[in-house]
Chain A
Amino acid sequence: MSMLKVNNLEVAYGGIQAVKGIDLTIEKGELVTLIGANGAGKTSTLRTLVGMEKKSGGSIVYDGQDISGVPVYDFVRRGLVMIPEGRGVFAKLTVEENLRMGAYYRNDEDGIKADIEHVYELFPRLKERQKQLAGTLSGGEQQMVAMGRAILSRPKLLLLDEPSMGLAPLIVEKIFEIVRKISAEGVTMLLVEQNAKLALEVSQRGYVMESGRITMSGNSKDLLDDERVRNAYLGE
């Protein structure tokens, strides 16, 4: 059974169709990427998957269940977690409070503490800054907080929206290293990226999205070698 099966998904804002009927499948344990230019409909797709936008057509089956009409706050309990574009950390909460927000629905204090320690191992930088307000951190550190917070939610399927946006190349490397680590820990992931090269290198499969449609899909290695992808997204 697939972790996520999207069939002919459509999303519209007013009269404008942002997503024009896409199919997407993610198997358990996979790291899949969705690449495409600005305005291709990638973020709209993700937001619809976690209930933040209403779909105007098609179906979404997550973990064997149709999740239409599930309220936003219920997704995290079902293990479907998104790290939004621009990180979405709570600026007025401290680093540790942000991490605890990720575990809001959990009641196992021991497990939460262990997971916080685990995040501090992954990002020693956050441990140093645990009592600092997240709004005072650098962009890279905020991305670490966002990822740490997602780990605290114990996701089954993690949706990552543009984790590299606005970050220095060195930090991006570090972030992708963690993406790889989280994936290796068995979390299924869907990674949306504009940085197509990095995304295809880290993932197993990829989808290419253009003006609301999926135009190509396949193994990431093949896509990396594909002439059209190279021309359009890798700048070669």
Chain B
Amino acid sequence: MNTMTKQPASAKKVATFVASAIVLAVLPFIVGGTFGNSWVRTLDFALLYVMLALGLNIVVGFAGLLDLGFIAFYAVGAYTFGLLASPHFSLDMPFWITLPLGALFAAMFGVMLGTPVLKLKGDYLAIVTLGFGEIIRIFLNNLNAPVNLTNGPQGINLITPIEVAGFSFGKPHEFFGITFNGVYMYYYLFLALTVLVVIMAWRLQHSRIGRAWVAMREDDIAAAAMGINIRNIKLLAFALGALSGGVAGGLFASFQGFISPESFGLLESIMILAMVVLGGMGNIPGVILGAVVLTVVPEVLRDVIGPLQMATFGKMIIDPENARMLLFGLALVVMMLVRPEGMLPSKRRKAEFEDAKEGV
């Protein structure tokens, strides 16, 4: 039963690559021109979530460590950026310091979380990581006294937009007589960093480290017998996952200009996990698809549900905001029943689900 597909010709690969590059390049104009700039903003968020989901995928999908507090690393990245480039401490550091620093801090927090949970697996690990995520949020919420570090629930305001050589991503710019809104500029910036994160994840997956994670997931004692230092490889997964989360957090801070602990709640962690699981744990294209779908679909529902109810019933029966989450939850349940391996599962995950079905 050799189901391996033949390697596609490289010409076809190049064509696919060029085509997707063009689509991604013109996408904001098509979306913005047809539906308005708020949808370009949604695209920006989709890219942020792709970065987050890919980061979590390293931890959950590759290394098999269930992390329910992933949003903490997003928060660390965002607050590092926010505190170093806002009037709160009267600092205005450039993004090429704040962004890498945020990523580095996030990675450090990843190791900090990873070290005490080295021996934990499954449910126990999930509970500790969940607690960790909440601890970070509660700290951010309360570190405004006795010394005002985070400004508490009020959050950090007026965060400097990213600026490269005097070119600010936060202000509209004019090229060739067309005015580009900030959301367009950020789209390309996010796209570039997303591509970097994708490349990192892809290279990791196909390296000996990626193989070591798969081996560890399956049988950590046998993996150790192969010469894999389980402790180091686990911490590496936590650190690299957190790194992507930290980058996304920094970008989020500069994009929004405002951050508060509210943005980093448990529901966000669950949402990112849902993206990974729904898309196809361990498979990079699947995770990207999951992140995009779970960002865009709720927004579409928000716009569609109200008018739809008015048209069918002539009045609002369910509050659109509630109906949106209801449908969304229903979709998740149906998806897990019909296709638990995700939309685009990896070869390995697929094999796992087939094993489970056969009862092997």
Minimal Cβ-Cβ distance residue in B for A146 = B222
Q: Does A13 contact B (CB under 8 A)?
A: no
Known contacts A131-B4, A133-B351; is-contact A92 B222 (Cβ 8 Å): no
Q: Which of B217-232 contact A (CB under 8 A)?
A: 217-219, 221-230
| Complex Cα gap A75–B222 (Å) | 12
B residues engaging A (CB < 8 A)? 1-2, 4, 208, 211-212, 214-215, 217-219, 221-230, 347-348, 351-352, 355
Q: Which of A79-94 contact B (CB under 8 A)?
A: 81-82, 84, 88, 90-93
Contact A52 B214 (CB under 8 A): no
Contact B211 A73 (CB under 8 A): no
Known contacts A92-B352, A133-B348, A135-B355; is-contact A73 B224 (Cβ 8 Å): yes
A73 contacts which of B214, B217, B228 (Cβ < 8 Å)?
Answer: B228
Contact-residue bracket for chain A: 20 to 34
Minimal Cβ-Cβ distance residue in B for A72 = B224
Contact B2 A132 (CB under 8 A): yes
Ordered by A's residue number, 26 sampled pairs between the chains whose C-beta atoms are within 8 Å are A50-B225, A52-B225, A71-B224, A71-B229, A72-B224, A73-B224, A73-B226, A73-B230, A75-B227, A76-B226, A84-B225, A88-B225, A91-B355, A93-B214, A93-B348, A97-B211, A97-B214, A102-B226, A105-B226, A105-B227, A131-B2, A133-B348, A135-B351, A136-B1, A149-B226, A153-B226
Q: Which of A92, A100, A133, A136 has the most CB of B within 10 A?
A: A92
Minimal Cβ-Cβ distance residue in A for B217 = A92
Residues of A near B347 (CB, < 8 A) are: 133
Interface string of A92-106 (1 = CB under 8 A from B): 110001001110110
Interface of chain B: mostly helix, strand, loop or mixed: helix
Residues of A near B2 (CB, < 8 A) are: 129, 131-132
Known contacts A84-B222, A88-B222, A92-B218; is-contact A73 B351 (Cβ 8 Å): no
| Complex Cα gap A76–B15 (Å) | 45
A101 contacts which of B4, B226, B229, B348 (Cβ < 8 Å)?
Answer: B226
Residues of B near A73 (CB, < 8 A) are: 224-230
Residues of B near A104 (CB, < 8 A) are: 208, 211-212, 226-228
Interface string of A116-151 (1 = CB under 8 A from B): 000000000000010111011000000000000100
Contact B208 A90 (CB under 8 A): no
Q: Does A77 contact B (CB under 8 A)?
A: yes
Minimal Cβ-Cβ distance residue in B for A80 = B225
Contact A101 B211 (CB under 8 A): yes
Contact A90 B227 (CB under 8 A): no
Q: Which of B2, B208, B351 has the most CB of A within 10 A?
A: B208
Contact A82 B225 (CB under 8 A): yes
Residues of B near A129 (CB, < 8 A) are: 2
| Complex Cα gap A74–B231 (Å) | 13
CB distance from A194 to the nearest CB of B (A): 21
| Complex Cα gap A50–B227 (Å) | 11
Residues of B near A81 (CB, < 8 A) are: 225
Minimal Cβ-Cβ distance residue in B for A76 = B227
Residues of B near A88 (CB, < 8 A) are: 219, 222, 225
CB distance from B204 to the nearest CB of A (A): 15
CB distance from A157 to the nearest CB of B (A): 14
Q: Which of A44-89 contact B (CB under 8 A)?
A: 50, 52, 71-77, 81-82, 84, 88
Minimal Cβ-Cβ distance residue in A for B355 = A135
| Complex Cα gap A135–B219 (Å) | 13
| Complex Cα gap A88–B355 (Å) | 17
User: Told that A90-B215, A131-B4 touch, could you supply 12 new A-B pairs with CB distance under 8 A?
Assistant: A72-B225, A88-B222, A90-B219, A91-B218, A91-B351, A93-B215, A101-B212, A104-B212, A104-B226, A104-B227, A132-B4, A133-B348
| Complex Cα gap A81–B224 (Å) | 11
Contact A93 B227 (CB under 8 A): no
CB distance from B137 to the nearest CB of A (A): 35
Known contacts A100-B211, A131-B4, A135-B351; is-contact A75 B225 (Cβ 8 Å): yes
Q: Which of B1, B217, B224, B347 has the most CB of A within 10 A?
A: B224
| Complex Cα gap A92–B360 (Å) | 14
Minimal Cβ-Cβ distance residue in B for A149 = B226
